[in-house]
Amino acid sequence: MAKKKAVAKKKTAVKAVKEVTFGQCGITTTIPSKYYLVAGHDEGMTPLNAFDNALVDAGIGNTNLMKMSSILPPNCTQIKPVKLPLGALIPVAYASKVSTIVGEVISAGVAIAIPQDPNLNGLIMEYSGAGHKEEIEKIVRSMAEEGMRKRGYKLKEIKSIAIQHKVDHTGAAYAAVVLWW
Amino acid sequence: MAKKKAVAKKKTAVKAVKEVTFGQCGITTTIPSKYYLVAGHDEGMTPLNAFDNALVDAGIGNTNLMKMSSILPPNCTQIKPVKLPLGALIPVAYASKVSTIVGEVISAGVAIAIPQDPNLNGLIMEYSGAGHKEEIEKIVRSMAEEGMRKRGYKLKEIKSIAIQHKVDHTGAAYAAVVLWW
Amino acid sequence: MAKKKAVAKKKTAVKAVKEVTFGQCGITTTIPSKYYLVAGHDEGMTPLNAFDNALVDAGIGNTNLMKMSSILPPNCTQIKPVKLPLGALIPVAYASKVSTIVGEVISAGVAIAIPQDPNLNGLIMEYSGAGHKEEIEKIVRSMAEEGMRKRGYKLKEIKSIAIQHKVDHTGAAYAAVVLWW
């Protein structure tokens, strides 16, 4: 591609994207600048259908979720859940639990520890298991807090979400932090 | 983004890329617009080698596969398997099964439910286990159908692929939907 | 960001990105051109905290790691570990082992088989388990070697890293190949 054309293209394309110049190798990468929390639960015909139905219940079932480990980029701002483009590739950190034990209560939760210094990253933790959502949420919040302590970051606040499901035949609980630009 | 500039950009850069303008944050993201189904199976020295050999057998063993959950973007068209660039990052939805039980028959399958409305997304389901490919393929097709029903989408058709492997010492079966641009 | 600056930056920024024109569908994709090996280990309050702490110990704990299967792109050059942008999406191939068996020695290792022909891809293998690092590293190297043999590639060399951890209460060992541009 001629350099002139490449520049012309760039002019129009990347206005709102948060760019990080990476001196050592000269490339430009984009880092998500928005996030929101979601949770969902449901039954399904099979374990994967239950998982899929929980994603739909959470409002992100029609996108391509790519699981990642689990950082909130610096200066990332919380937004309300948005209508993501159908089929888009979406980075998420999530917890999920599927169970076929009739009557069991299962829960999934995520927590984000946000540092006092906005130029530092936050930390996302995920936890799921048998148990009620209050219990799961308490654990996942303490996990996020511990991760901040370990990094030597001063904690500003913890945001979290958890959801529970009582299994009828094949149930799923799902909680996620969605990153977006 | 001014339409004129956007067109100018398109001409030079990325003719076939499907773009979604996302009003709320102003960025442009690309959504895969092509897909194809593949499957492979093989033995290997270790479980991971068997998996790797099955990928090679499926024709996608020299790329970096990034697993995602499991949507066919709207207006995505099926193509014949292509020679992907070596080492490229490729979004895939896949099922795999590895076994070290000598003589066991294992299978892996994926199915895509395609909606009647081309502006809606399709749904990919994955399933694997001990058993013959006809059985696995039947199950994974019914899973995809169920997901469409749950979404309230009218089903146009289901595409699927499955493969089986009889384990000699350490075997793997693998089936995938590859997304591409 | 002023548009002028963005353009100026772009001019300089995109030089080093390796582009692959993919004739059949007309798009341009970028393939990582740099890599390095890292390893870390630690204890943690929970299994996920131990994993997170091992990532921090490895120097990549403040990024969003996206697991992929496991190819070194052609002409990829090894660099020293770099300070990755906080929260960036990073493709990695990794092995990890978490254990809560007090006193157990656990190890994780990765190996890269590099072909004689620089236009061919290399292969990354991952292995982890109970055992000492020398043992794990030996196994993962032989796995990478086997994958090259299977592809019919002539082997130039194998690079590897492994690390071990003796579990106090909840421990993790982690080894990875980081791809970068």
What pLDDT, on the 0 to 100 scale, is given for residue B11? 36
**Which tens digits make up the pLDDT trace of C49-107?**
999 999 999 999 999 999 999 999 999 999 999 989 899 889 999 999 999 999 999 99
Contact yes or no for C9 and A19 at CB 8 A: yes
A3 pLDDT above the threshold of 50: no
Q: Count CB atoms within 10 A of the CB of residue A68.
A: 23
Catalytic residue chosen out of the listed positions B33, B53, B70, B128: B70
Among C34, C45, C83, whose Cβ lies nearest the Cβ of A146? Answer: C45
Contact yes or no for A72 and C87 at CB 8 A: yes
Say yes or no: C69 contacts chain B, CB-CB below 8 A.
Answer: yes
**Which tens digits make up the pLDDT trace of A99-133?**
999 999 999 999 999 999 999 999 999 999 999 99
Task: Classify residue B84 by its DSSP letter.
Answer: P
Chain C residues with CB-CB distance to B44 below 8 A = 146, 150
Closest residue of B to C72, CA-based? B87
> DSSP 3-state assignment of B113?
strand
Neighbours of chain C (3+ CB pairs under 8 A): A, B
- State how far residue C142 is from chain B, nearest Cα, in angstroms: 9
This model of the complex carries an ipTM of: 0.86
Closest residue of C to B62, CA-based? C71
When pLDDT is averaged across residues A34-57 and rounded to a whole number, the result is 98
Residue keyed to tokens 């374990």: A47
Known catalytic residue at B69: yes
Lowest-pLDDT choice from A1-15, A134-148, C112-126: A1-15
By the 10 Å C-beta count (0-12 exposed, 13-18 middle, 19+ buried), B103 is classed as exposed
Under a CB-based contact definition with an 8 Å cutoff, are residues B171 and B98 in contact?
A: yes
Token pair listed for B155: 């089903």
Task: Classify residue B2 by its DSSP letter.
Answer: -
The ranges of chain B with pLDDT < 50 are: 1-28
- State how far residue C131 is from chain A, nearest Cα, in angstroms: 26
The amino acid occupying position A29 is: T
The amino acid occupying position A107 is: S
Q: What angle do CA B24, B30, B36 make, to 5 degrees?
A: 140
- State how far residue C160 is from chain B, nearest Cα, in angstroms: 17
Contact yes or no for C151 and B65 at CB 8 A: no
State phi, psi for B30 to the nearest 5 degrees: -110, 140
> DSSP 3-state assignment of C150?
helix
Q: What angle do CA A83, A136, A161 make, to 5 degrees?
A: 25
- Distance between CA atoms of residues C147 and B110, nearest Å: 25
What pLDDT, on the 0 to 100 scale, is given for residue B31? 85
When pLDDT is averaged across residues A149-169 and rounded to a whole number, the result is 98
- Distance between CA atoms of residues B98 and B55, nearest Å: 12
Q: What HEC string does chain A produce?
A: CCHHHHHHHHHHHCCCCCEEEECCCCEEEECCCEEEEEEEEEECCCHHHHHHHHHHHHCCCCCEEEECECEECCCCEECCCCCCCCCCEEEEEEEEEEECCCCCEEEEEEEEEEECCCCCCEEEEEEEEECCHHHHHHHHHHHHHHHHHHHCCCEEEEEEEEEEEECCCCEEEEEEEEEEC
pLDDT exceeding 90 applies to what percent of chain C? Answer: 77
Q: How confident is the model at residue A156 (pLDDT cuts 50, 70, 90)?
A: very high
What pLDDT, on the 0 to 100 scale, is given for residue C24? 31
- State how far residue B40 is from chain C, nearest Cα, in angstroms: 15
- Distance between CA atoms of residues A44 and A39, nearest Å: 16
Concatenated DSSP letters for C81-142? Answer: ---PPTT-EEEEEEEEEEE-STT-EEEEEEEEEEESSTTS-EEEEEEEEES-HHHHHHHHHH
Chain B residues with CB-CB distance to A8 below 8 A = 8-9, 12
> DSSP 3-state assignment of B114?
strand
- State how far residue C139 is from chain B, nearest Cα, in angstroms: 10
A78 pLDDT above the threshold of 70: yes
Task: Classify residue C172 by its DSSP letter.
Answer: E
Among B9, B91, B125, whose Cβ lies nearest the Cβ of A48? Answer: B125
By the 10 Å C-beta count (0-12 exposed, 13-18 middle, 19+ buried), A27 is classed as buried
Say yes or no: C180 contacts chain A, CB-CB below 8 A.
Answer: yes
**Which tens digits make up the pLDDT trace of C9-45?**
433 333 334 444 433 333 335 788 899 999 999 999 9
Catalytic residues of C: 64, 69-70, 126
The amino acid occupying position B39 is: A
Say yes or no: C64 contacts chain A, CB-CB below 8 A.
Answer: yes
Residue keyed to tokens 């600056």: C5
Q: Count CB atoms within 10 A of the CB of residue B130.
A: 15
Chain B residues with CB-CB distance to C29 below 8 A = 85, 88-89, 181
What pLDDT, on the 0 to 100 scale, is given for residue A25? 34
Nearest to A133 by CA among A141, A122, A125: A141
B/e letters for A75-86, b = 16+ CB within 10 Å, e = fewer, are ebeeeeeeebbb
Contact yes or no for A127 and C63 at CB 8 A: no
What pLDDT, on the 0 to 100 scale, is given for residue B181? 80
Nearest to B39 by CA among B113, B140, B145: B140
